[in-house]
Copies of this chain bind each other. A is one copy, B any other.
Amino acid sequence: MEDRELMLLALEEAQKAAELGEVPVGAVIARRGEVVASAHNTRETEKNATHHAELIAIDRACRALGGWRLWECELFVTLEPCPMCAGAIVNSRIRRVVYGAKDEKAGCCGSVTDLFALPFNHRPVVESGLLEEESHALLQRFFERLREQRREGSKPKWKKPQS
């Protein structure tokens, strides 16, 4: 499969997250153009801070391939990875990362910082902007709907921390 097809699959994953009321981010890991793992953000549904799309996909790819070194793998993700996911990319030796939309608030492939420019023991190739508009539009619609729900006073799926 080509890059664009793989990113379309990542977008389908992001759509699944949106349907759950989750921030719509989706990820696909491929090896030699074949899908090895795919996942979407389930932080709210699973009530788990580690359940970002990329981290789940990396976990699944390690299980699928039976090893922690994903050095032949490429990651396609609709949103620029956060520090946790960028760190997991370094740790798993993923060779190439392709992402859609930039994340000005938490992105670690150039937006807030560029973790891959630091002297860690692995540095992936990074490409950005593939299906950026589609990825961004999905996120924008999600946050617009969230703001509407808040204005209308209906209970959003996001809960404030409890003491």
Interface set of A (CB-CB < 8 Å, partner B): 43-44, 47-52, 55, 58-59, 62-63, 66-72, 82-88, 90-93, 105-106, 108, 112-113, 115, 118-121, 159, 161-163
Contacts and interface: CB of A to CB of B under 8 A. Distances in A.
Contacts of A63: 47-48
Contacts of A69: 49, 161
A60 to B, nearest CB: 10
B71 A47 contact: no
Contacts of A87: 82-87, 108
A154 to B, nearest CB: 21
Given A49-B70, A69-B161, A83-B86, 7 more contacts: A43-B68, A48-B59, A50-B58, A51-B68, A84-B85, A105-B120, A106-B120
Nearest to A159: B67
24 contacts: A47-B62, A47-B63, A47-B68, A48-B63, A49-B62, A49-B69, A49-B93, A50-B55, A51-B68, A52-B91, A69-B161, A82-B87, A83-B84, A83-B115, A83-B118, A83-B120, A84-B84, A84-B87, A84-B88, A84-B90, A87-B87, A87-B108, A112-B118, A112-B119
A59 B50 contact: yes
Given A112-B119, A118-B113, A120-B106, A67 B85 contact: no
Contacts of A163: 72
Nearest to A71: B161
Contacts of A162: 67
9 smallest CB-CB distances across A and B, nearest first, come from: A84-B87, A83-B87, A49-B92, A49-B68, A48-B62, A49-B91, A69-B161, A84-B88, A50-B59
